[in-house]
Structure 1
Amino acid sequence: MSALSHAPAPLLVAPAELKSAAARSRVFLDATWVMPGSARKPHEEWAAKRIPGARFFDLDLVASDHPLGLKHMLPSPAVFASACAGLGISPSTHVVLYDTHGVFSAPRALRPFQAFGHVNSSVLNGGLPRWEDEGHPLETDTPVTSTTSDDAYAEPELDSNVVKSYEQMVSNALLDPASNDAASLVFDARSKGRYSGADPEPRPGLPSGHMPHSFSLPFQAFLESPKGSYTVFKSPDAIRAALLEAVQGNEETLQQILDGKRSVINSCGSGMTACILWLGLQLLGVKSAVYDESWTGYAMRKESKIVSGHAAV
């Protein structure tokens, strides 16, 4: 745990659990992100309607530069600390992250807080739509964009166990899962068609398929829409059932994962929805990592080993 850390908060909170949006020690961050090409403008939407006092957390801005030009990569300690200071966040602040989909991009925003030891951070389950649906207050006037923090935010240390590089994924692909040095299992949050290679990738020129030792686990398997208009996380039991289905009904493999005897890495198209899997696993008590570059970074490199079909290899 980082020296910056204070008491951990629940990873997932419901609107009713947050008695006051204006609590002195709490900061709400709108971390809405939309797919490239979308006509939506999340920053403008935040300016028009938000939880009172909420600030905007731009996932593509609070990020590190990448040699392949990939977006929303995990920020450096300096970028993260600077962003927190600019958003009025101190080491003791309870940070509550939400998005306007319900659950989509907020888990990605939670990840740097957790990775850098700011464990007093949570995702609002159901996001802004649920907050509004349950009758909690909203703010629609011009937002305050300048904030200050009472405490300095020093550069934190990264927990290197929670992020995987391309080189580590290549090394993992070469391991024999039956050996004593068992390969990490990779859960792929993309659609089954993209995973199998049957459907094309949305990025032109990028091949579909999957990495060795990976299972298809579309991120929607961990979510539900109880009212049809926004998503929330399923119950832990339902998440466990989805996980069992993903490992093709193998109870032994599932138990190895739950017991921490088999390590897990999460991936998706660009590192966004992999964090839904990461958070869902956390809700089961499973610590896992995220391959930040995900399929885009992996498949862009011509030397990468790509597997087709539905069975994990």
Structure 2
Amino acid sequence: MASLLRSLRPTLLRPIMAARYASFEAPLIISPAQLHQNFKENQHVAILDTTWFMPNSPRKAYDEFQKRRLPGAQFLDLDKVASSHELGLKHMMPSAVQFADACEKLGIQPSTHVVLYDAHGVFSSPRALFMFRNLGHSNSSILNGGLPRWDAKSFPIDTNPPSSPPSKSQYPPPALDQNAIRSYEQMVTNSALNPSSSLEAELVIDARSAGRFTGEDPEPRPGLSSGHIPNSFSLPFNLFLKTEQGSQGSTYTVFREADEIRTELDNAVGAAQAERIIKGEATAVTTCGSGMTAGVIWLGLKLLGAPKLSLYDESWTGYAMRPTSRIEMA
């Protein structure tokens, strides 16, 4: 057996090693106190700032990272670690090679516990977790409340110039969970199915605001039609979150307790359909404006234990840009 293993090419052995290392599943969310304890115990943790702002925001994520960050944090640009899209959309799920290359440059190994945070509290970090988890890196978590909650708990903040990334590591290209992403064609096919009468229908949950879902409010992207995918449900992502008071009068978001998340899910899709999602009798597909806050709904459902979840990666922007899309209002 030993001679057989030695004869195998290293590139064939690396995925086996990666699967073994990534088999440990970290908590989906951790608190600042838990992360601080990991620091004290010298556990191998990679901390990534995954802050993302809407394109029309004057704030720049990397500029803010350079000024204030968790100690030892590196910056992960979700728009750069992404696959190209035929419509030019940003932060699409990266290929396995792109993901592995980014991990290597950040000094992340398959065994590393990766902790993801953002400057909003909870906003873009769930999208980053969606990427890590569905590319096989189950030893990953988000920091619940992100940078502002860490600061509010009086844990140290690094304001010095960022340090260089750690030494480049080895990270074999992983396998993407093929059920993680839904395509435009799949969404069109599913939109013809009424979830109240078809057990085959996937339950599409839209994380945008209610006004954007109904078409009463315009989309923030100029020229994009309003409305929603037929037979989808409205569940604004902020309903899974609560606001807490930060330093100097600022506020930030954290996830609500599981029972509160379940109540919001019941209100959005109905108690019977919510039960089907939790039991794995139906697949829930999350969507939003561009695939970012759909991650918040995805993670909220993961916290409830829902086993069959997908995300429509291009979301409403990709759907509405196509001239043949079926769109519902109100």
| Shared fold per TM-score greater than 0.5 | yes
Q: How does 1:1-313 map to 2 (within 5 A)?
A: 3=19, 5-18=22-35, 19-21=37-39, 23-149=42-168, 151-177=169-195, 181-227=199-245, 229-247=251-269, 250-287=270-307, 288-309=309-330
Name the aligned partner's letter for residue 141 of structure 1: N
Q: How many residues align?
A: 306
1:24, CA displacement in angstroms?
4.4
Runs of 4+ in 1 over 4 A off after TM superposition: 178-181
Whole-Å separation in 2 of the counterparts to 1:30 and 1:40 = 15
Residues 171-180 or 105-114, more deviating: 171-180
Instruction: Classify the secondary structure of the residue corresponding to 1:238.
Output: helix
* 8 A Cα contact 1:215 1:246, kept in partner: yes
Whole-Å separation in 1 of the counterparts to 2:196 and 2:59 = 47
1:254, CA displacement in angstroms?
1.8
* 8 A Cα contact 2:199 2:282, kept in partner: no
* 8 A Cα contact 2:135 2:176, kept in partner: yes
Larger radius of gyration: 2
- Per-residue deviation, residues 84-112 of structure 1 (Å, max 9, x unmatched): 00001000000000001000010111111
- Per-residue deviation, residues 201-254 of structure 1 (Å, max 9, x unmatched): 11111111111221100001000013261000000000000001112xx32222
Whole-Å separation in 1 of the counterparts to 2:271 and 2:62 = 44
* 8 A Cα contact 2:122 2:146, kept in partner: yes
Instruction: Classify the secondary structure of the residue corresponding to 1:303.
Output: coil
* 8 A Cα contact 2:121 2:147, kept in partner: yes
Name the aligned partner's letter for residue 274 of structure 1: A
* Residues 178, 135 of structure 1: alpha-carbon distance in 2 compared, 3 angstrom cutoff: closer
Whole-Å separation in 2 of the counterparts to 1:305 and 1:48 = 45
- Per-residue deviation, residues 35-68 of structure 1 (Å, max 9, x unmatched): 1121111111111111110000001001011110
1:302, CA displacement in angstroms?
1.0
Name the aligned partner's letter for residue 216 of structure 1: S
* 8 A Cα contact 1:223 1:234, kept in partner: yes
Residues 166-175 or 66-75, more deviating: 166-175
* Residues 187, 180 of structure 1: alpha-carbon distance in 2 compared, 3 angstrom cutoff: closer
Q: Unaligned 5+ residue runs, structure 2?
A: 1-15
Residues 168-177 or 255-264, more deviating: 168-177
Name the aligned partner's letter for residue 308 of structure 1: M
1:179, CA displacement in angstroms?
5.5
Whole-Å separation in 2 of the counterparts to 1:38 and 1:198 = 22
* 8 A Cα contact 1:163 1:290, kept in partner: yes
User: Which structure shows the higher helix fraction?
Assistant: 2
Residues 112-121 or 204-213, more deviating: 204-213
* 8 A Cα contact 1:175 1:181, kept in partner: no
Q: CA RMSD in A?
A: 1.6
Whole-Å separation in 2 of the counterparts to 1:188 and 1:146 = 37
Name the aligned partner's letter for residue 271 of structure 2: E
Q: Sequence identity of aligned pairs in percent?
A: 53
Whole-Å separation in 1 of the counterparts to 2:196 and 2:61 = 46
* 8 A Cα contact 2:204 2:231, kept in partner: yes
Name the aligned partner's letter for residue 25 of structure 1: H
